[in-house]
Amino acid sequence: MHFALTEEQLAIQDTALTFAKERILPKAIEWDDTGHFPVDVIRETAQLGMATIYVPEDKGGSGLSRLDGALIMEGLAYGCPAISAYISIHNMVAWMLGKYGTDAQIKSWMPKLASMDWLASYCLTEPGAGSDAVALKTTARKDGDSYVLNGTKQFISGAGATDFYFVFARTGGEGADGVSAFVIMKDAPGLSFGANEKKMGWNAQPTRQVIMDNCRVPASHLVGGVEGKGFRFAMSGLDGGRVNIGACSLGAAAQAIDKSRDYMFERKAFGKNLADFQVLQFKIADMATELEASRLMIYRAADAMDRADPQASMYSAMAKRFATDLGFGIVNEALQIHGGYGYLKDYGMEKLVRDLRVHQILEGTNEIMRVVVSRKLLNGNRG
Residue 101 confidence (pLDDT) above 60: yes
What is the CA 39 to chain-centroid distance, rounded?
16
Query: Pairing state of beta strands 268-269 and 272-273?
Result: antiparallel
The predicted model scores a pTM of 0.95
pLDDT digits 0-9 by tens, 348-375: 999 999 999 999 999 999 999 999 999 9
- Give me the number of domains the chain comprises: 3
Q: How much is the pLDDT for 224?
A: 97
CA of 355: how far to CAs of 32, 103, 199, 216, 298, in Å?
Answer: 10, 38, 10, 36, 19
Residue 299 lies in a domain: yes
Residue 1 lies in a domain: no
Note whether 239 and 368 are same-domain residues: yes
Residue 339 confidence (pLDDT) above 90: yes
Note whether 257 and 312 are same-domain residues: yes
Note whether 322 and 312 are same-domain residues: yes
The residues annotated as belonging to the active site are: 363
Residue 2 lies in a domain: no
**Full residue range of the structural domain in which residue 204 is found:** 121-233
Q: Residue 115 sits in a domain of what CATH number? A: 1.10.540.10
Give pairs for 126-134: CB < 8 Å, separation 24+.
126/151, 126/152, 126/153, 126/154, 127/152, 127/154, 127/209, 130/154, 131/364, 131/365, 131/368, 133/231, 133/234, 134/175, 134/176, 134/179, 134/231
Note whether 80 and 126 are same-domain residues: no
Q: Residue 247 sits in a domain of what CATH number? A: 1.20.140.10
Residue 380 confidence (pLDDT) above 70: no
Note whether 366 and 243 are same-domain residues: yes
pLDDT digits 0-9 by tens, 159-216: 999 999 999 999 999 888 999 999 999 999 999 999 999 999 999 999 999 999 999 9
Note whether 368 and 251 are same-domain residues: yes
Note whether 223 and 254 are same-domain residues: no
pLDDT digits 0-9 by tens, 17-49: 999 999 999 999 999 999 999 999 999 999 999
Note whether 63 and 85 are same-domain residues: yes
Note whether 253 and 219 are same-domain residues: no
Domain boundary among 192, 213, 233: 233
Note whether 115 and 138 are same-domain residues: no
Domain boundary among 95, 119, 143: 119
Residue 283 lies in a domain: yes
Note whether 135 and 111 are same-domain residues: no
Residue 382 confidence (pLDDT) above 60: no
Residue positions counted in the chain? 383
Note whether 192 and 326 are same-domain residues: no
Q: What's the rounded mean pLDDT across residues 276-282?
A: 96
pLDDT digits 0-9 by tens, 65-82: 999 999 999 999 999 999
Residue 383 confidence (pLDDT) above 80: no
Residue 159 lies in a domain: yes
Domain boundary among 119, 145, 169: 119
Residue 93 lies in a domain: yes
Residue 323 lies in a domain: yes
Q: How much is the pLDDT for 381?
A: 56
Judged by average pLDDT, the poorest of 96-105, 126-135, 158-167 is 126-135
Q: What's the rounded mean pLDDT across residues 112-126?
A: 97
Residue 42 lies in a domain: yes
Q: How much is the pLDDT for 128?
A: 85
